[in-house]
Amino acid sequence: MALLLRQNRIGSFRSVPPIAAENQSVAETTKLSVGQALEKLRGTKAPKAKMARLDEKIDTLDEETRRLRRMKGRVERDQLTSPTEQDAQTTDSGRVTKLKILGVAVGAVIVIPILAWKWGLF
């Protein structure tokens, strides 16, 4: 009677009774010789626990998040120190509009009393 080993989902092996092995198809069972199974068990890289793998992924994502935040800070700082031409034009057009309104208001304040005095309203 041959000893059959079957690998489960987490990478460890368990023995399969000969009766159960006969009922299963070859496609479902991974059959290894005893030497191959021992070699795999003694391998230099032990399978990592699920939490250890998740911790590594979290650390990788944290580092990527820090990198993107640093990049965002540099971009925002560059935008604040050197405004684009479009921003400069918008600022200039706003100043021109305010100056025009101020000129019309000052003119009206000067002209209205002069006309009222000329027409004899005062």
3-state secondary structure of 32: strand
The answer on pLDDT for 100 being more than 80 is yes
Containing 62, the helix (H) or strand (E) segment is helix 50-81
For the chain, give every domain's residue range: 4-41, 48-80
Alpha-carbon dihedral sign for residues 63, 65, 70, 75: positive
Average pLDDT, integer, range 19-33: 62
Average pLDDT, integer, range 56-72: 94
pTM: 0.32
Task: Determine the pLDDT at residue 79.
Answer: 81
Task: Determine the pLDDT at residue 19.
Answer: 55
Average pLDDT, integer, range 60-84: 87
The residues, ordered by sequence, that sit 6+ positions from 77 with a Cβ below 8 Å of its Cβ are: none
Pairwise CA distance, residues 21 & 4, whole Å = 8
Among the listed residues 15, 49, 86, 47, the one whose alpha carbon sits nearest the alpha carbon of residue 6? 15
Retrieve residue 50's tokens. 């699920």
